[in-house]
Amino acid sequence: MDEQPFEVHVDGGTLHGSRGGSGPPALLLHGGPALPDYTGPCAAELGDLFSIMRYAQRGVAPSAVGPPYTVDAHVADAIAVLDAHGLERAWVIGHSWGGHLALHIAVAHPDRLEGVVCINPLGASMDVLEEFGENLRHGLQPDVRAWVEEVDARDDAGDATKEESLQAFAAVWPYYFADPASAPPFPFDERGDGAAETWASILEHCERRTLEDGLRHLTLRTLFVHGAVDPLPARTSTDTAALMPNADVVLLDGRGHFPWLEQPGELPRVVADALGLPDGRSGVVGSRRPG
């Protein structure tokens, strides 16, 4: 998929991104927070369904935007990208933390969206985080596990170095996949700024029940796609969808946290079928609801 770069000026700096594909416009949000944008392969798969815009979030190169690293600032950045492209409405697609952010955008600005697609997202509640961490660490050797837990604790407090955080992430990387032995190479060699601050904002919004209350009134068409063996438990999707009047969930058997890497081609087929979108590769229109 050919992509064209873009820049969007926001308070505090400039967001750098790219746009490609064909079809209705969609904003693709990467996870993290504070990770580089890794969604290129995902955008390439979905580019037959949507005209995809993606960008490096604030705190992450090559974007040059600093604090505040809050959910509200991230929401404002996403709306600024739509405004810069002259879009009154668009789909929003998010993976992991990006899926959580997509839900916040939907609650705050439902009039700007056509619908929402959440891929293996953090849900409305953070009550799965302990289980998520245990699922990632259970296969580690005891000494490695102890070190990862120690770094994670300091990372939560904002005291770990970026290098330590990346090393700990690399240690658990294989366990994001259904078959750890077949996991692709660790793709990150840097980390941005603002992870701890963004997490603090996420948890503060959870205490305020921003999503738990707001999603009950959201009528936008919403699709959750979640790997059935993702270490981030699938109930983050199923429980969140249960709050919403117009949401569906598709569980992908034998898939982990990055389904487009584990089974290329499956994600666009699932999304096209569930949302009734024309599949640009075949011209086929899927069913309105997953069966």
Residue at token pair 């993606």: 54
Q: What is the reported pTM? A: 0.94
- Identify whether residues 154 and 250 lie together within a single domain: no
From CA 259, how far away is CA 227, in angstroms rounded? 7
DSSP category for residue 182: G
- Identify whether residues 214 and 256 lie together within a single domain: yes
Indicate whether 154 belongs to any domain. Answer: yes
What value does the mean pLDDT take over residues 100-118? 98
- Identify whether residues 112 and 122 lie together within a single domain: yes
Indicate whether 198 belongs to any domain. Answer: yes
Indicate whether 188 belongs to any domain. Answer: no
Supply the pLDDT for residue 290.
33
Indicate whether 187 belongs to any domain. Answer: no
- Identify whether residues 83 and 207 lie together within a single domain: yes
Q: Which of 34-43, 55-64, 93-102, 145-154 has the lowest mean pLDDT?
A: 145-154
From CA 122, how far away is CA 95, in angstroms rounded? 8
pLDDT band, very low/low/confident/very high, at 275 (cuts 50, 70, 90): very high
- Identify whether residues 98 and 31 lie together within a single domain: yes
Q: Which of 119-123, 180-184, 247-251, 274-278 has the lowest mean pLDDT?
A: 274-278
- Distances in Å between the Cα of 287 and the Cα atoms of 118, 183, 200 are 19, 32, 40
Indicate whether 235 belongs to any domain. Answer: yes
Domain with 163 in it = 129-182
Per-residue pLDDT of 210-223, as tens digits, reads 999 999 999 999 99
Percent of the chain scoring above 90 in pLDDT: 90
Q: Using alpha carbons only, how large is the chain's radius of gyration in Å?
A: 18
Using an 8 Å Cβ cutoff, are 171 and 144 in contact?
yes
From CA 276, how far away is CA 193, in angstroms rounded? 38
What value does the mean pLDDT take over residues 238-242? 98
From CA 153, how far away is CA 64, in angstroms rounded? 28
Token pair for residue 191? 């980390």
- Identify whether residues 135 and 65 lie together within a single domain: no
Give, for 273, the enclosing helix (H) or strand (E): helix 266-275
- Identify whether residues 65 and 105 lie together within a single domain: yes
Indicate whether 81 belongs to any domain. Answer: yes
Per-residue pLDDT of 170-218, as tens digits, reads 999 999 999 999 999 999 999 999 998 999 999 999 999 999 999 999 9
Instruction: Please name every residue paired with 94 in a beta bridge, in sequence order, or none if there are none.
Output: 29, 118
